[in-house]
Structure 1
């Protein structure tokens, strides 16, 4: 016979309450025993999260530094290109001024030669 005694409702309720209490006490004991390990795991997770955040901040700083460096290089290249364009424009303008000056000098020399010939012709006729 498996269950020889007669269990009525009150006996079953008492047994269930005792089992529930035993389970609760076992859970509390296991939780108290696991507390140092849980605290250690939690501290380890916190350290890992802090290291992860530090690495993320370092990556962001490196990206920001790289972007600033690229912007500085681009500004430097733009300034060099602007300076080269200005130098080319100045050289072109100087060459144009020199050409105009030569044309004016040639024109003046031609007029002077014409006036000299005219004066010689007048001097020969007179």
Structure 2
């Protein structure tokens, strides 16, 4: 009876070892068979990552060019505004000088008229 029990136990141990070996072999075979799939998935992920990086670089380039364009536009607008202010200031100064010259001419004409009247008055008295 003891011997039968040992045989039964030996059979179970042998069967378990064979099952472990079969599982290990099945795992190794699945790993080898899945290697191609894994490499394909990895290559696909790398291609997606590369495309994503390329799109990010393109977005950055577009952002930089847009920022440069806006900065150039702002500088042009600032230059145009400065030129307009300068022209306006110059026009005001010119108008003010013309008014001053006109006032001085009028003042000189009044003085000349006054001096002429004064000379006529003196001439009549003399």
Shorter-chain TM-score range: 0.7 to 0.9
Q: Give the distance between the partners of 2:118 and 2:64, measured in 1 at CA.
A: 80
Q: Give the distance between the partners of 1:121 and 1:16, measured in 2 at CA.
A: 149
Residue in 2 that maps onto 1:93: 93
Deviations 1:85-123 (A, max 9, x none): 111011111111110111011101100110011111111
Runs of 4+ in 1 over 4 A off after TM superposition: none
RMSD: 1.5
TM-score of the two chains, using structure 1 as the length reference: 0.87
Residue in 2 that maps onto 1:124: 124
Q: Give the distance between the partners of 1:94 and 1:49, measured in 2 at CA.
A: 67
Residue in 2 that maps onto 1:43: 43
Q: Give the distance between the partners of 1:89 and 1:14, measured in 2 at CA.
A: 107
Q: Give the distance between the partners of 1:90 and 1:14, measured in 2 at CA.
A: 109
Residue in 2 that maps onto 1:82: 82
Gaps of 5+ in 2: none
- The total of aligned residue pairs comes to 121
